Amino acid sequence: MSTHIDAARAVSQVDVRGPRFAAWLTTAVLVVALLVSAVSAPAAAVILGLQAVVFAIGAVRGPRAHPYGMVFGRFIAPRLGPVTEREPVPPLKFAQFVGFVFAVAGTIGFATGLPAVGLASTAFALLAAFLNAAFGICLGCRLYPLAARLRRVSTPV
């Protein structure tokens, strides 16, 4: 019985190094989008739109199916020592959803001639990605309990 519980727990949690690796790649993509936006808002919209797709995959399918998570699992994780710390998947999926919302807003801003919206949305996403990558502070994960509580409150009984 204990083995079944341990297996279920392992399925719902991931190595913390994977999401942090993904956050570093996301940080790089968002920096590129901001730099490119100084030259071409449409090009920035394309870059940010692609990142929005990556966020959407992470939000729907979770960190193991996330494109950056797959890179981590295939190429990085095998070269690292054993997992010493794990984190639950649902807050990570929610954080990806939050990133998706900001990336879509930024993409729309850049694509429709509202560069301030594009810049602000991209900057917020960049701040969140960098905090996670550099310091292990996942803002979306910290918002998750509040969102989960609000969802339970608003669900009809």
Structure token digits, residue 65: 């199916």
Q: What is the pLDDT of residue 151?
A: 81
Q: Find the radius of gyration of the CA atoms of the chain.
A: 17
DSSP 8-state code for residue 138: -
Is position 33 within any domain? yes
Global confidence as pTM: 0.88
Domain that holds residue 54: 15-154
- Please give the mean pLDDT across all residues of the chain: 92
* Residues of the chain above pLDDT 70, percent: 90
Q: Among 37, 68, 65, 64, which Cα is nearest to 51's?
A: 68
In the chain, how many domains are there?
Answer: 1
pLDDT in tens, 16-34: 999 999 999 999 999 999 9
* Confidence band, pLDDT 50/70/90 cuts, at residue 131: very high
Is position 91 within any domain? yes
* Confidence band, pLDDT 50/70/90 cuts, at residue 11: very low
